[in-house]
Structure 1
Amino acid sequence: MPKSRIRKKADFTPPSSRTPQSIKLTNRSWVAPVMLGLFLIGLAWIVLFYVTEGKLPLKSIGDWNIVVGFGFIAAGFGVSTQWK
């Protein structure tokens, strides 16, 4: 039976230390404070609604205050996708 040829692996060349111009490095230091702020606002909104028995923060929208609070929390999760 014929013997197969041994394949030689290509020599390793490390990538260059330069960053390509196509990659933009942006400063995203704003993401964590905004995300946490939205989480806390949403939580405070819901807690305030329950503690005041629906009189605050907005009495006119009634139980929709819960949706507004969860909206702030959902926005916080949306902002968290920008975190790197």
Structure 2
Amino acid sequence: MPKSKVREKVARKRKVAAEITPEIIEAKVESPKWLVPVMLASFLLGLIWIVIFYLSSTSYPIPGIGAWNMLVGFGFVGVGFSLATRWR
């Protein structure tokens, strides 16, 4: 019984995929060495900033800006999240 043409097409696709796959594996992109420490530092700095703001009854870390200290703290956390999306 003759083989169907569909099987031949599948076999060709698998052969081409096997030839291309090693090139794709070699092209892995790694994140820079500084990314993880800066990301973690940003998360921690934002968290510490917000905790200090609450513990000091909204008068510190920067006394003159009041409740905007929350925005500064969440800004640091946001920078940490944006760096986390680039981590490979």
Q: Same fold (TM over 0.5)?
A: yes
Aligned length: 77
| C-alpha RMSD of the superposition | 2.4
Gaps of 5+ in 2: none
For 1:37, the aligned partner's letter is: A
Structure 2 CA distance, aligned partners of 1:26 and 1:80? 13
Query: Which among 39, 43, 49 is matched to residue 35 of structure 1?
Result: 39
| Identity among equivalent pairs (%) | 38
Is the counterpart of residue 6 in structure 1 residue 9 in structure 2?
no
Which amino acid in structure 2 is aligned with residue 57 of structure 1? P
**Cα distance in 2 for residues equivalent to 1:36 and 1:52:** 24
1:81 & 1:68 partners in 2: Cα distance?
20
Does residue 66 in structure 1 map to residue 70 in structure 2?
yes
| Residue identity opposite 1:81 in structure 2 | T
Moved over 6 A (4+): none
Report the TM-score when normalising by structure 1: 0.75
Q: How far is the alpha carbon of 1:54 from its aligned partner? A: 1.9
Q: Distance in 1 between matches of 2:67 and 2:81?
A: 22
- Name the structure 2 match of 1:83: 87
Q: CA deviation at 1:62?
A: 0.2
Aligned mates of 2:29, 2:75 — CA distance in 1: 30
